[in-house]
Copies of this chain bind each other. A is one copy, B any other.
Amino acid sequence: MSLSPSLYLFPVQLSDVPLQNVLPAFNMEIISTVKYFIVENVRTARRFLKSCDKSINIDELTFFVLNQHTLATDIPAMLEPIKLGYSMGIISEAGCPAIADPGADVVAIAQSKGYNVVPLVGPSSILMSLMSSGFNGQSFAFNGYLPIEPSARNNKLKEMERRIRRERQSQIFIETPYRNNKLIEELCNTLPGDMLLCVASDITGESQSIVTKKISQWKKCEYNYNKIPTIFLLFS
């Protein structure tokens, strides 16, 4: 890998487990050398850095906050340290940066300026659930959250069903955790009984459960995923 200043993308654990369960030792080595970070929340980023390496002197570090309140026009200035020759890091709140968090905007700017972008390995609920679902891993789509408005939501489900049948494309999506049970009920009422639904919850955590069943089986079984981070996959 290049020794020129880089924008490192640091994944963070998804659940309360020892870091060595889900992050390579290399990540901790690299993170100890970086002094400039772009983070969603300074408090949790500091805690993560301390858990990576107790000897890190947090007061020496500079944090730029990137969240939903950040103005797009303020982002380019966050990358000034790289221009000056210093490596920087993006620390996710959970999982992999720039996958389902605002980090992608910074990475896009770094790419447009020709900076070196270096991803590190870490847990991804999307990928780990897909691996474990038994569904097609050669063709799949991650759809984020389903639309909330009923007709848009129904159209989205129909479109996913079409892509499963016609393209053999596995479909992945998420829901606000307190609505998980309601979503499963809705899927049971909307989708054909032979469709396969995989429900993957608390990935990497103590209560991890990744279960694939037909819709007709989900209709008959008991479950409770209320408030547990969960990801949903469909295939047939």
Contact = CB atoms under 8 A, between A and B. Distances in A.
Interface of A: 1-2, 9, 18, 20-26, 96-101, 103-105, 107-112, 117-119, 121-124, 126-144, 169, 198, 203-204, 206, 208, 210-213
B131 A97 contact: yes
Contact of A142 (B100, B139, B211, B213): B139
Given A1-B208, A126-B127, A140-B141, A20 B9 contact: no
Nearest to A125: B119
A235 B9 CA distance: 20
Contacts of A130: 98-99
Contact of A206 (B1, B105, B138): B1
Contact of A21 (B24, B111, B132): B24
SS class, residues of chain A in contact with chain B: mixed
A70 to B, nearest CB: 16
A143 B139 contact: yes
A26 B208 CA distance: 16
B131 A119 contact: yes
Nearest to A122: B121
B119 A134 contact: no
B25 A96 contact: no
Contacts of A133: 107, 111
B23 A119 contact: no
Contacts of A139: 141-144
A176 to B, nearest CB: 14
Contact of A137 (B26, B99, B112): B99
A131 B111 CA distance: 12
Contacts of A132: 9, 98, 107, 111, 117-119
A99 B26 CA distance: 24
Given A121-B128, A124-B127, A212-B111, A137 B98 contact: yes
Given A22-B24, A141-B141, A206-B1, A107 B131 contact: yes
A104 B144 contact: no
